[in-house]
Amino acid sequence: MNPSVMKNPKMMLLQHQAKATKRFKLAQQKTQVNLQMVAYKPGCKS
């Protein structure tokens, strides 16, 4: 964290949102992969 960001709350908020979005997308991808693995398991038809 550089000091200029600390002085600028808007920048801090943007960085925080970017991190949160990245984490959310990663979690979504993991969930989708897990769902696909379950769906493709033989003998496990929905």
pLDDT, residue 41, reads 67
- Residue holding tokens 């979504």? 28
Of the CA atoms within 13 Å of residue 41, those in its CB half-sphere come to: 9
User: What is the residue extent of each domain of the chain?
Assistant: 3-39
For residues 22 and 32, what is the distance between their CA atoms, to the nearest angstrom? Answer: 15
Angle (CA) 7-8-9 rounded to 5° is 110
- Give the Cα separation of 15 and 33 in Å (integer): 27
Residues 6+ apart with CB under 8 A from 12: 5, 6
Per-residue pLDDT reduced to its tens digit, 1-46: 566 656 888 988 999 999 999 999 999 999 988 888 777 766 655 5
For residue 35, what pLDDT is reported?
A: 83
Is the pTM higher than 0.85? The answer reads no
Q: What is the pLDDT of residue 36?
A: 81
